[in-house]
């Protein structure tokens, strides 16, 4: 079947859950047996979110092929249970860069370069190349209709509809139907205005997804249908859900597939959501519960740990347990308030950058090690586990990372000059390289040691593949010193230290990679799953 395109735009305000809407629609199509891919367009000018502050942008999600992408790509992977690539997310910066590069190469034959047609053509060409080979491509346009940055994309959507016809292009508009307390009423005016704005640009959406905190009456749905000129069955209500994974099921109940099939002139189809339904039931009413201490830094913006908190949800769903997160701000953690860590079933140290909050994290690691609490350290969490061990077990008080003290005499964590990247190419990393360009990014193989906790977690696999995003590495110079005192190097990649554990601890595991990037609802990440399992036993 020729690729069909579903464009998802948003109106009224941001944070309406366009990402979850797009993921949910893609999930229903996938479970109906179609080949589905998905694309996030970010209209900002940055080339990628790699150098943006987590406070500004939330998490940077890393794809298998090493791209630093928008966190919505994470949602897509978690919902679709499929690895996406660099091309599944692009920004205005990337579009302009390639047009300008082409212009420099003389590929426009001396023409004046303009938004229409050149920028818009580049956008259309990128969209179509991502759609190649799929039955459906769901395209989520970031931002809200009316944003200046979004204009060329809306023009591209309009043109694609014109070129490919009604049966290959569908527009879905996500809006808000706010509840006004004083009037005790749900208001449809913002939705009408937002659709009017879209129409002014030449796009008439065929489906309206109305976000609302309350159910919408039949009359109200009809009113929206009439004023926005969509069929009566094409106003889909998206009430606040208990879990994001419930949204595809809610959409199914709202019968979203009927207008989708009709618009594409396809015979009616039905997804198989049995397994999904079961997992959602376990998220909503789990049998057991467990409390994990999450010792991190950007706690004011939990979005920056999205993949990890979702991975804990996946583990919980698969173990029929509620995973409660106790957020512990590492900057406030001191020797005098370690009682905050009492009564935790497990302690988790996520990845991070910079020196702030590091000492608090080291205290939490020491606490987990000495009190034999199940522990998982991720990326910076692994690096700090080594530093903690060096300081408190080996007695080398100056042990640190050259990230925090470039001149340290004890760089247990250091910057290596060169390494072999995913394509087998030698890469040079130096302290002076610009931010963003020097990280070990994306998927690398890791060889596991026999009979270790981590190997058991991965079903006795010899080699696993996980994704990275860091500049520094564990220094092999100290390896034998650490091993002599009971630290086990349990995983390696081309001579780089990837995972460790402790011999005299019920379950203390730390990993240099980010296991959370490969966790999906239907296939939870093995080491995070095992960590939650061990915490349940604690
Ligand atoms: N700051 C550390 C590094 O760059 C760890 C990064 C991380 O935790 N993602 O190596």
Burial grade of 147 (CB within 10 A; 0-12, 13-18, 19 or more): middle
Query: What does the alpha-carbon distance between residue 401 and residue 391 come to, in Å, rounded to a whole number?
Result: 12
Polymer length of the chain: 538
**Half-sphere exposure of 463 toward its Cβ, with a 13 Å CA cutoff?**
5
Q: Identify the three-state secondary structure at position 433.
A: coil
Most ligand 1 atoms within 8 A of CB, residue of 384, 385, 471 to mutate? 471
Hey, whose CA ends up nearest to atom 5 of ligand 1? 380
Between the CA of 143 and the centroid of ligand 1 the distance, in Å, is: 30
DSSP letter (8 states) at residue 142: P
Tell me which residues have their CB closer than 6 angstroms to ligand 1.
351-353, 379-380, 403, 469-472
Query: Which residue out of 310, 501, 516, 530 is catalytically annotated?
Result: 516
Beta-ladder partners of 411: 400
Q: How many CB atoms lie within 10 A of CB 231?
A: 13
Is 516 one of the catalytic residues? yes
> Left, alpha or beta for 451 (phi > 0: left; psi -120 to 50: alpha)?
left
Burial grade of 427 (CB within 10 A; 0-12, 13-18, 19 or more): middle
399: Cβ contacts below 8 Å, ≥ 6 apart = 386, 387, 390, 391, 410, 412
Residue 205, CA distances (Å) to 16, 189, 290, 384, 505 in order:
17, 16, 44, 51, 58
Query: What does the alpha-carbon distance between residue 244 and residue 402 come to, in Å, rounded to a whole number?
Result: 40
DSSP letter (8 states) at residue 501: E
Tokens of 275: 């397994």
Tokens of 369: 């090690």
For 186, phi and psi rounded to 5 degrees? -90, 135
Which pLDDT belongs to residue 334?
87
Which residue is it, tokens 């735009």? Answer: 9
Model pTM score: 0.92
Which pLDDT belongs to residue 359?
95
- Give pLDDT tens digits for 440-499: 889 999 999 999 999 999 999 999 999 999 999 999 999 999 999 999 999 999 889 999
Among candidates 56, 8, 61, 59, which has minimal Cα distance to 518?
A: 61
Query: What does the alpha-carbon distance between residue 349 and residue 308 come to, in Å, rounded to a whole number?
Result: 11
Q: Which atom of ligand 1 is nearest to the CA of 354?
A: 1
CB 282 within 8 A of CB 320: yes
Most ligand 1 atoms within 8 A of CB, residue of 349, 354, 376, 403 to mutate? 403
Query: Which residue out of 118, 379, 468, 501 is catalytically annotated?
Result: 379
Between the CA of 304 and the centroid of ligand 1 the distance, in Å, is: 14
Which DSSP string corresponds to 12-46? SSS-S-HHHHHHHHHHHHHTTT--EEEEEEE-SSS
Burial grade of 261 (CB within 10 A; 0-12, 13-18, 19 or more): middle
Query: Which residue out of 68, 173, 514, 530 is catalytically annotated?
Result: 514
Could you check whether the bond before residue 233 is cis, i.e. omega within 30 degrees of 0?
Answer: no
Q: Identify the three-state secondary structure at position 471.
A: coil
Hey, whose CA ends up nearest to atom 6 of ligand 1? 470
357: Cβ contacts below 8 Å, ≥ 6 apart = 296, 297, 329, 330, 331
Which pLDDT belongs to residue 428?
61
Under-70 pLDDT residues of the chain: 54-55, 298-299, 419, 427-437
Hey, whose CA ends up nearest to atom 8 of ligand 1? 351
- Give pLDDT tens digits for 216-273: 999 999 999 999 999 999 999 999 999 999 999 999 999 999 999 999 999 999 999 9
Query: What does the alpha-carbon distance between residue 469 and residue 193 come to, in Å, rounded to a whole number?
Result: 42
Beta-ladder partners of 7: 139, 171
Beta-ladder partners of 487: 502
Beta-ladder partners of 91: 42
Which pLDDT belongs to residue 13?
82
CA 210 to chain centre: 24
CA 161 to chain centre: 30
**Half-sphere exposure of 42 toward its Cβ, with a 13 Å CA cutoff?**
20
Hey, whose CA ends up nearest to atom 10 of ligand 1? 472
Is 379 one of the catalytic residues? yes
CB 13 within 8 A of CB 176: yes
Pairing of strands 418-420, 426-428: antiparallel
Which pLDDT belongs to residue 417?
72
Which pLDDT belongs to residue 437?
52
Among candidates 349, 396, 399, which has minimal Cα distance to 369?
A: 349
Is 370 one of the catalytic residues? no
Which pLDDT belongs to residue 434?
45
Which pLDDT belongs to residue 340?
86
Q: How many CB atoms lie within 10 A of CB 296?
A: 26
326: Cβ contacts below 8 Å, ≥ 6 apart = 291, 292, 293, 294, 344
Which pLDDT belongs to residue 81?
96
Which DSSP string corresponds to 441-509? EEEEEEEEPTT-HHHHHTTT-SEEEEEEEES-EE-GGGHHHHHHTTEEEEEEETTEEEEEEETTSSSEE
CB 270 within 8 A of CB 32: yes
Beta-ladder partners of 492: 447, 497
């Amino acid at each position: 079947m020729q690729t069909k395109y579903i464009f998802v735009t948003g109106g009224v305000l941001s944070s309406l859950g366009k990402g979850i809407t797009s993921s949910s629609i893609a999930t229903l199509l996938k479970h109906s047996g179609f080949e589905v891919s998905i694309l996030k367009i970010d209209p900002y000018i940055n080339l990628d979110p790699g150098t943006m502050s987590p406070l500004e942008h939330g998490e940077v999600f890393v794809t298998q092929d090493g791209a630093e992408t928008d966190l919505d790509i994470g949602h897509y992977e978690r919902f679709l249970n499929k690895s996406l690539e660099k091309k599944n997310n692009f920004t205005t910066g990337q579009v302009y860069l390639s047009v300008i590069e082409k212009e420099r190469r003389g590929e426009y034959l001396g023409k004046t370069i303009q938004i229409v047609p050149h920028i818009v053509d580049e956008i259309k060409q990128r969209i179509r190349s991502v759609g190649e080979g799929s039955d459906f491509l769901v395209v989520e346009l970031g931002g809200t209709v009316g944003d200046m940055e979004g204009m060329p994309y809306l023009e591209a959507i309009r043109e694609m509809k014109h070129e490919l016809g009604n049966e290959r292009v569908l527009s879905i508009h996500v809006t808000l139907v706010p509840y006004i307390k004083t009037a005790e009423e749900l208001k449809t005016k913002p939705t009408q205005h937002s659709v009017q704005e879209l129409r002014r640009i030449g796009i008439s959406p065929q489906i309206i997804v109305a976000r609302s905190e309350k159910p919408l009456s039949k009359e109200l749905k009809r009113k929206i249908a009439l004023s926005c000129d969509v069929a009566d069955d094409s106003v889909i209500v998206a009430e606040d859900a208990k879990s994001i994974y419930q949204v595809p099921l809610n959409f199914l109940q709202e019968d979203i597939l009927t207008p989708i099939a009709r618009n594409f002139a396809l015979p009616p189809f039905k997804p198989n959501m049995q397994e999904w339904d079961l997992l959602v039931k376990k998220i909503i009413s789990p049998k057991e519960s467990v409390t994990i201490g999450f010792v991190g830094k950007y706690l004011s913006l939990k979005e920056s740990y999205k993949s990890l908190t979702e991975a804990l949800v996946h583990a919980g769903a698969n173990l029929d347990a509620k995973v409660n997160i106790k957020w512990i701000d590492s900057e406030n953690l001191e020797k005098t308030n370690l009682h905050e860590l009492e009564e935790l079933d497990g302690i988790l140290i996520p990845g991070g950058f910079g020196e702030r909050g590091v000492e608090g994290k080291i205290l939490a690691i020491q606490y987990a090690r000495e009190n034999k609490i199940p522990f998982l350290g991720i990326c910076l969490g692994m690096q700090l586990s080594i530093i903690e061990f060096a300081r408190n077990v080996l007695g080398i008080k100056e042990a640190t990372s050259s990230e925090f003290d470039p001149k340290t005499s004890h760089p247990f964590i250091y910057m290596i000059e060169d390494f072999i990247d995913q394509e087998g190419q030698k890469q040079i990393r130096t302290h002076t390289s610009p931010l963003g360009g020097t990280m070990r990014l994306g998927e690398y193989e890791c060889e596991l040691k026999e009979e270790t906790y981590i190997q058991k977690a991965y079903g006795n696999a010899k080699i696993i593949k996980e994704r990275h995003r860091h500049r520094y590495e564990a220094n092999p110079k100290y390896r034998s010193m650490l091993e002599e005192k009971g630290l086990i190097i349990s995983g390696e990649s081309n001579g780089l230290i990837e995972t460790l554990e402790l011999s005299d601890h019920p379950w203390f595991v730390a990993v240099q990679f980010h296991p959370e990037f490969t966790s999906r609802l239907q296939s939870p990440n093995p080491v995070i799953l095992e960590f939650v399992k061990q915490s349940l036993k604690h």
